[in-house]
Amino acid sequence: MAKLTWLGHASWLLETQGHVVVVDPFLTENPAATASADEIDASFVLLTHGHFDHVADAAAIANRNNAVMLVANYEIATWFAEKHNVKNTLGMNLGGAVDLPFGRVKMTLAHHSSQLPDGSYGGNPGGFLVEVEGKKIYFAGDTALFGDMQLIADERPDVAVLPIGDVFTMGPDDSVKAAKMIGAQIVVPGHYNTWPPIEQDAAAWSEQIRACGLTPLVPEVGKPCEIA
């Protein structure tokens, strides 16, 4: 049974068959986070794009030991290897998939930007379609609503993790449209309630998701949810 834990903002912990995968770790300066970077004992770090609120604690977690693998687009993976001395990196690019010890990971499109914290070019922003224990989880990353989410639907994901915060990503209404297009039965909101500009009413959003015949899953920060 795979478990998904919201670490606050757009940070997620996925636990599956003895593997711990952290997506977009942003903890130390995240006012919504309850865990610190030294409590996150992950063996894989997945990064959707280069923005500070997605990569801030990646090096701290990846450098705990040399076996931890940092997975990101090629530019971000190279930046972590060169600037933060991360030893085990895997650079990917949009549309590519790899089989990792915990499951299959495909890098999907996102409409956003990706500059790294020091101003370096962070390649293209992306999302991840992660297949574990026979279930597919789509982490959209930071993105606007876009029509090619239809192609994600063809992959028949079981769970969709979507930003709902607005301002920097799609907001609640567009995320409901995205959820409908993607068709995953379980829809999980993220990238909201971290700071005042992205405060959202998750209960109202859940009603909209339910009205589409889908199941909203609104985790509390730090509380694992069984998803597969």
Shortest Å, Cβ 211 to Mn ion? 27
Bridge-based pairing of strands 89-92 and 126-132 is: unpaired
For Ni ion, the closer CB: 50 or 103: 50
136 binds, among Mn ion, Ni ion, none (CB under 5 to 8 A by kind): none
Question: To the nearest whole angstrom, how small is the minimum distance from the Cβ of residue 158 to Ni ion?
Answer: 25
> Quick one: what does residue 166 bind among Mn ion, Ni ion, none, with the CB cut-off 5 to 8 Å set by partner type?
none
What residues from 140 to 159 belong to the interface with Mn ion (CB under 5 A)?
142
Residue (15 or 142) nearer to Ni ion, CB = 142
Beta bridge partners of 187: 160, 216
Nearer to Ni ion, 18 or 197 (CB): 197
3-state secondary structure labels for all residues of 131-193? EECCEEEEECCCCCCCCCHHHHHCCCCCEEEEECCCCCCCCHHHHHHHHHHHCCCEEEEECCC
How many whole angstroms separate alpha carbon 79 and alpha carbon 202?
A: 35
Q: Does the footprint of Mn ion cover residue 166 (CB under 5 A)?
A: no
Residue 196 CB, nearest distance to Ni ion (Å)? 17
Q: Residues in the site for Ni ion, rule: CB under 5 A?
A: 51, 142
CB closer to Ni ion, 8 vs 216: 8
Binding mask 42-81 for Mn ion (x = CB under 5 A): -----------x----------------------------
Residues whose CB is less than 8 angstroms from the CB of residue 89 and which lie 6 or more positions away in sequence, other chains included: 69, 70, 71, 72, 77, 78, 80, 81
